[in-house]
């Protein structure tokens, strides 16, 4: 019965792989287009029966690591609607803009900064190619750092990237949109879909969605749907500090929906108009931000690595262009099917937000430091990750096709078992002889601890394949021997190994593999 894996099939190309991810997400009940029967709504998605579980498990994995495991971090759940002055104070009304550019021929709209960044990513791919070539040529003697810092061609590429990005950063900072357009023209950047270079001027576009509160048109108040969860934390800073009696340094975490009217939203759940964030604001003494910045960069990377999705798939990207509130910022980038892209941001936000809220509300938002014997506006270190982007990272990284020794292939979703929606499927070998009853009893017992499935349709081999594609870490098969000796076969998704175990041992065996504790201990 044991089926050995021969080798991994690499997927044809990035585009194909991404298409496969999207169709698998639909076919197996993870993600659906919102309002599909009305032809959908652009960049809005619904999570289906398995997707909702996976998303909940990711959120829980984050919350446990952030809130439960840290004595000095508490969690809140602020409302999506906030007083409109919040967004004046935070700078979103005036500065939460993306530079957009239209192509006159294709009528497609792009983010000007993304076009330039994609241009640089292509040069970076050339550097990677040079490195790969050299690594093959020099074999064991190859020293990557030395090669990158001395090879003329690589240095030339790097110089081009640096000058391009710093010019763009400067122009955006100075609101010199004409220069952003000039840069696009000088670099001869073309519409990625049509190749046309017939561009409009670059314009700023505010990303916030507006709405109204109130029953009558005259009295209605203009509101925004929050574009980030962070401000709900800042405006509650003093309430939380006083009621929790936490001392600096301490953090406030929250997860919740955010809304952005994104200009370009073509990458499935990577860039949505309604999405969910998991944010933590860490309040610190002014002057200590460099230390805490390093601390949170390292801690967050460890959290990612604990999921075992391959260290080579992550990298830091330090920002050239800093947001209006930040004195340092880095992204944790992940290798999505379409290349390395931002997954999480770590931002040193200074005292910008609290000071602004002091100014606009007229209320003091200060902390009395008993050690210093004085009050001050704390500095803030932020970690901010998109739950949907994390979902995409986990899902796309887990989807593989394997060729088996017997010449067949299997599609398997190798989700980290701690995140898998269904932890085990219980399968009676046949639909008679009392086997379904025993299988149902096992389900009834296990469901107190885990999300489990019962599946009796089709031959057992097909059921294994279905559970593999669904990402279920364990299949438990009940056969005629079970009736004699109370043992079952348990099959492991990734290795396809099978072992015979007592029904009474199932709970502990599954728990050992899927328990949050054993995964978070790897941090």
The piece of 358-366, 370-378, 383-391, 503-511 that touches ligand ATP (CB under 6 A) is: 383-391
Q: Say if residue 132 is exposed, middle or buried (CB neighbours under 10 Å; 0-12, 13-18, 19+).
A: exposed
- What do you get for the CA distance between the two ends of the chain, in Å? 37
Give the position of tokens 């609101």: 175
* 388 lines the binding site for ligand ATP (CB under 6 A): yes
Distances from the Cα of 339 to the Cα of 110, 131, 346, angstroms? 18, 17, 20
Whole-angstrom Cα distance, residue 89 to residue 365?
Answer: 13
Using the minimum distance from each CB to ligand ATP, give the nearer residue, 166 or 194.
166
β-pairing verdict for 97-102 and 45-47: unpaired
Using CB under 6 A, pick the residue from 90, 384, 467, 472 that binds ligand ATP. 384
Using the minimum distance from each CB to ligand ATP, give the nearer residue, 110 or 275.
275
Using CB under 6 A, pick the residue from 18, 275, 314, 464 that binds ligand ATP. 275
Using CB under 6 A, pick the residue from 99, 251, 386, 436 that binds ligand ATP. 386
Count the site residues for ligand ATP by CB under 6 A: 16
Stretch (H or E) spanning 283? strand 274-284
* 353 lines the binding site for ligand ATP (CB under 6 A): no
3-state secondary structure 317-328: EECCCCCCCCCE
Show the tokens assigned to 325.
Answer: 């509130």
* 271 lines the binding site for ligand ATP (CB under 6 A): yes
CB of 395 to ligand ATP, least distance (A): 14
Using CB under 6 A, pick the residue from 345, 378, 428, 471 that binds ligand ATP. 345
Using CB under 6 A, pick the residue from 53, 191, 344, 453 that binds ligand ATP. 344
Using the minimum distance from each CB to ligand ATP, give the nearer residue, 257 or 359.
257
Using the minimum distance from each CB to ligand ATP, give the nearer residue, 345 or 421.
345
* 385 lines the binding site for ligand ATP (CB under 6 A): yes
Whole-angstrom Cα distance, residue 458 to residue 447?
Answer: 23
The piece of 11-19, 343-351, 406-414, 500-508 that touches ligand ATP (CB under 6 A) is: 343-351
* 272 lines the binding site for ligand ATP (CB under 6 A): yes
Closest CA to 419 of 307, 333, 523: 307
Closest CA to 270 of 436, 148, 394, 185: 394
Residue 403 per-residue DSSP state? E
Using the minimum distance from each CB to ligand ATP, give the nearer residue, 344 or 453.
344
Q: Site map for ligand ATP, 218-257, x if CB under 6 A?
A: ----------x-----------------------------
Show the tokens assigned to 386.
Answer: 């998109």
CB of 171 to ligand ATP, least distance (A): 17
* 343 lines the binding site for ligand ATP (CB under 6 A): yes
Using CB under 6 A, pick the residue from 260, 300, 466, 493 that binds ligand ATP. 260
The answer to whether 224 and 84 have CB atoms below 8 angstroms apart is yes
Using the minimum distance from each CB to ligand ATP, give the nearer residue, 227 or 428.
227
Q: Site map for ligand ATP, 157-196, x if CB under 6 A?
A: ----------------------------------------
Using the minimum distance from each CB to ligand ATP, give the nearer residue, 189 or 272.
272
Closest CA to 463 of 478, 442, 485, 448: 478
Count the neighbouring beta carbons within 10 Å of the beta carbon of residue 42.
Answer: 12
The piece of 267-275, 359-367, 402-410, 454-462 that touches ligand ATP (CB under 6 A) is: 267-275
Using the minimum distance from each CB to ligand ATP, give the nearer residue, 113 or 402.
113
Q: Say if residue 209 is exposed, middle or buried (CB neighbours under 10 Å; 0-12, 13-18, 19+).
A: middle
Using CB under 6 A, pick the residue from 342, 358, 401, 513 that binds ligand ATP. 342
The answer to whether 58 and 390 have CB atoms below 8 angstroms apart is yes
Using the minimum distance from each CB to ligand ATP, give the nearer residue, 98 or 102.
98
Query: Can you spell out the DSSP letters for 416-459?
Result: -TTT-S-SEEEEESSS-TTHHHHHHHHHHHHTTTS-EEE--SS-
The answer to whether 353 and 379 have CB atoms below 8 angstroms apart is no
**Which residue of this chain has its Cβ atom nearest to ligand ATP in the complex?**
386
Binding interface with ligand ATP (CB under 6 A): 228, 260, 262, 271-272, 275, 277, 342-345, 384-386, 388-389
């Amino acid at each position: 019965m044991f089926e050995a894996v021969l080798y991994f099939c690499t997927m044809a190309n990035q585009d194909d792989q991404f298409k496969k991810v999207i169709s698998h997400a639909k076919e197996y009940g993870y993600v659906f287009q919102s309002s599909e029967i009305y032809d959908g709504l652009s960049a809005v998605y619904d999570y289906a029966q398995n997707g909702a579980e996976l998303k909940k498990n990711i959120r829980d994995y984050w919350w446990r690591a952030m809130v439960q495991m840290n004595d000095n971090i508490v969690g809140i759940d602020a409302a999506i609607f906030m007083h409109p002055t919040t967004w004046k104070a935070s700078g979103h009304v005036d500065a939460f803009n993306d530079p957009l550019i239209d192509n006159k021929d294709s009528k497609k709209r792009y983010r000007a900064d993304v076009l330039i960044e994609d241009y640089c990513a292509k040069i970076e791919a050339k550097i990677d190619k040079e490195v790969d070539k050299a690594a093959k040529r020099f074999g064991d003697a190859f020293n990557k750092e030395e090669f990158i810092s001395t090879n003329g061609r690589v240095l030339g590429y790097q110089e081009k990237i640096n000058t391009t990005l710093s010019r763009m950063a400067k122009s955006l900072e100075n609101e010199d949109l004409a220069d952003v357009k000039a840069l696009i023209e000088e670099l001869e950047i073309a519409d990625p879909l049509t190749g046309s270079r017939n561009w409009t001027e670059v314009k700023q576009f505010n990303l916030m969605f507006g709405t109204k509160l109130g029953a009558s048109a005259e009295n209605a108040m203009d509101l925004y749907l929050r574009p980030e969860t962070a401000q709900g934390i800042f405006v509650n800073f003093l309430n939380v500090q006083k009621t929790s009696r936490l001392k600096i340094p301490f953090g406030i975490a929250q997860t919740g929906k955010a809304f952005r009217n994104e200009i370009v939203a073509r990458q499935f759940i990577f860039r949505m108009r309604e999405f969910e964030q998991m944010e933590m604001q860490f309040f610190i003494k002014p002057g200590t931000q460099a230390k805490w910045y390093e601390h949170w960069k390292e801690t967050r990377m460890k959290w990612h690595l604990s999921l075992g999705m391959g260290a080579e798939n992550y990298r830091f990207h330090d920002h050239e262009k800093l947001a209006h509130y930040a004195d340092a910022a880095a992204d944790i980038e992940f290798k999505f099917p379409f290349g390395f892209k931002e997954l999480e941001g770590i931002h040193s936000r200074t005292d910008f937000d609290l000071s602004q809220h002091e100014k606009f509300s007229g209320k003091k938002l200060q902390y009395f430091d008993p050690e210093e014997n004085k009050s001050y506006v704390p500095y803030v270190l932020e970690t901010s990750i998109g739950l949907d982007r994390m979902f995409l990272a986990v899902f796309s990284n887990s989807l593989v096709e394997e060729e088996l020794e017997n010449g067949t292939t299997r599609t398997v979703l190798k989700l980290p078992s701690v995140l898998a929606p269904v932890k085990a499927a219980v399968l009676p070998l046949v639909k008679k002889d009392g086997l379904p009853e025993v299988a149902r009893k096992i389900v009834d017992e296990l469901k107190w601890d885990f999300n489990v499935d019962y599946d009796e349709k089709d031959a057992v081999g097909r059921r294994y394949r279905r559970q593999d594609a669904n990402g279920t870490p364990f299949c438990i098969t009940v056969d005629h021997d079970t009736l004699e000796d109370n043992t079952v076969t348990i099959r492991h998704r990734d290795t396809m190994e099978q072992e015979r175990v007592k029904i009474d041992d199932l709970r502990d065996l599954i728990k050992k593999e899927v328990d949050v504790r054993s995964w978070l201990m790897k941090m």
